[in-house]
Amino acid sequence: MTNGRSLASMRRIWVLMGTVFVDMIGFLVVLPLLPYYGERYGASDTTIGLLIAVFAFAQLTSAPLWGRLSDRLGRRPVILGSLLLAAAAFVLFGLTARIPGHVLSLALLFVSRFVQGMGGGTTGVIQAYVSDSVEPDQRTRALGWLTAATSAGVMLGPLIGSLAVRLGDEAPGYVAAGLCLANFVSAWLLLPESNPRDAASGAASGEAIATAGRGPAGEAAVPRRRPSLRRAITQVLRHPAEERSRLIWTYALGMMAFMAMNGVIVLYLDRRFGIDAAHIGWFYTYVGGVSLLMRALLLGPINERIGDVATLRVGALCLCAGLAAVPLPGTVWGLAAVILLVPVGTALLFPATTSLVSRHSQRDDTGQNLGVQQAFGGVSRMVGPIWATALFEHVGWRAPFWAAAALMLGVVTISLGVERRGRWTRPVEEVPDAAAEP
């Protein structure tokens, strides 16, 4: 029975990996090209930061809602809906090249990014799908496989984009939209629901009340009303030292530092080394290849040997060192050597942090808690590129990388308070039913 269940779980994970792989190809077809398109339409460096950040703003507003909706209706319909939104966003991206006037083109580019961000707000749902499908002690490994699939998409997407842009400015958007539509059809046919019990009960009653099984003496447990989304977010803000809150802050600040680098890296490569839109794909392929190797082959053995918490800390240290070293080399080959620390760090830091958050969540709250994590990550994805591009434009090209490295030192400090041995804690501050919001 266990082997059969394990095989079924692995089939689900493999199908999900294929879905996120194709989705990430589409995403990366256009992402490295955004600064070039923005400059073509008259955007300043700081405006380009806003263009990158609007995606995160859309994620911020949608991620917790998607997470809670997936707890009620199931993960599958939410994932399918996100693929359709992404396809629409990429069509809009392609249309920007056909609209006369730079102002209108830039405005449509912002709209495209917002719609794409709405579709990208389901990251927590995808992570919850993994939590539904595998045992707790295997979640870091499974999340590593999942992010390995995204890293494979990171390898191929930019190359496709760099080739497509040679066919015309509108081509990358249409290519990405076609990939998303094909991905939707494939997921519709192959991706099963991972949480049918919750989906069935949510569809039947529309209530967010989860029973907690049986108590230690065998008596029926009192039904527990799931805390409101607002209360779950407030808990992280008001009690940052609690275990799950500390983990969410670790994820959020680490993501801010990483996205600060992402906000300026294309501008940096263009202006210091002369790398243009037709060649930027090679850089992303190189970094994505390192990330794929880490997540597919090395993350699992490292995590099994040293545990989730140590994996998190080593990842934070590697990311800190990599960010500090990026502006130091004077050649592309030197940069290629030091930037290795960045994908190594992210491959260790983020899957381990997400796994620990899921371990500190009850099953019925997993989607919501991971959605809250993604909401805080969404703030980081929004804020990081804005201040990084502002520093790049007004202070200097080294400033954003070193500021991000300083932020990562704070993450390392926060991670020192994470317990060495994970334990199951209350998912959110419990409140009487009368005070809980529906």
Task: Determine the straight-line distance between the first and last CA of the chain, rounded to whole angstroms.
Answer: 38
pLDDT tens digits, 108-127: 999 999 998 888 767 778 77
Strands (E) located in 185-248: 209-210, 224-225
If phi > 0 it is left, if psi is from -120 to 50 it is alpha, else beta; for residue 48 that is alpha
In a domain, 208, yes or no: no
Confidence of residue 434 (pLDDT cuts 50, 70, 90): very low
In a domain, 69, yes or no: yes
In a domain, 354, yes or no: yes
Tokens 């496989």 belong to which residue?
145
In a domain, 207, yes or no: no
Instruction: Give residue 205's pLDDT.
Output: 35
Give me the number of domains the chain comprises: 1
If phi > 0 it is left, if psi is from -120 to 50 it is alpha, else beta; for residue 268 that is alpha
In a domain, 436, yes or no: no
Instruction: Give residue 195's pLDDT.
Output: 63
pLDDT tens digits, 39-89: 889 899 999 999 999 987 887 788 777 777 887 878 888 888 888 888 999
In a domain, 205, yes or no: no
Range of the domain at 251: 2-190+229-415
In a domain, 198, yes or no: no
What is the H or E stretch that residue 7 is in?
helix 2-30
In a domain, 333, yes or no: yes
pLDDT tens digits, 369-418: 777 887 788 788 889 999 999 999 999 999 999 999 999 999 998 888 77
The phi, psi pair for 220, rounded to 5°, reads -65, 135
- Displacement of CA 387 from its chain's centroid (Å): 20
User: Whole-model pTM?
Assistant: 0.76
Average pLDDT, the chain: 80
Strand partners, 220: 214
Instruction: Give residue 364's pLDDT.
Output: 61
Give the whole-angstrom CA distance, residue 138 versus residue 183.
27
Give the whole-angstrom CA distance, residue 289 versus residue 51.
26
CATH code of the domain containing 172: 1.20.1250.20
Return the percentage of the chain with pLDDT > 70, whole number. 82
